[in-house]
Amino acid sequence: MPGNAAIVRRGYEALSRGDLTTLTELLGDDVSWHTPGCSPFAGDVVGRKAVFARLGRYLAETGGTFRADLKRVLADEDGRVIGIHHNVAERVGRRLDIYCCVVFELENGRIVDGREHFYDLDAWDEFWS
């Protein structure tokens, strides 16, 4: 079984390809996703379908320009993994260009929780508002 860091890397790769089959394999049925801020995306969603819907909206509302380019993966002995990535997208004449990290929790080889943290939360909120 691959380590947690490898699972997270595989998830980023699948997201960049739009590979829902692999993402379905990697995300737990009751995965939860947490997005801070006050944009229309802020708040928590629970369940694989809800997480897919959130990620799908990122792509849909940017005409497919949204990217999360993985820069680094950090793993700890407690099983958590941090994915540091660079978000870029274009939407309604605006450009998103910020760094983000997601703290992932995994159980039995599947992602069960993701918490987004943005370097510039105001820029994230403004882009989506």
Q: Are strands 110-118 and 94-107 parallel, antiparallel or unpaired?
A: antiparallel
The predicted-structure confidence for 84-107, as pLDDT tens digits, reads as follows 999 999 999 999 999 999 999 999
How much is the average pLDDT of 60-73? 95
Residue 13: name the closest of 88, 86, 69, 76 by CA: 69
Q: Does the domain at residues 4-128 carry the CATH identifier 3.10.450.50?
A: yes
The predicted-structure confidence for 36-55, as pLDDT tens digits, reads as follows 999 999 999 999 999 999 99
How much is the average pLDDT of 20-42? 95
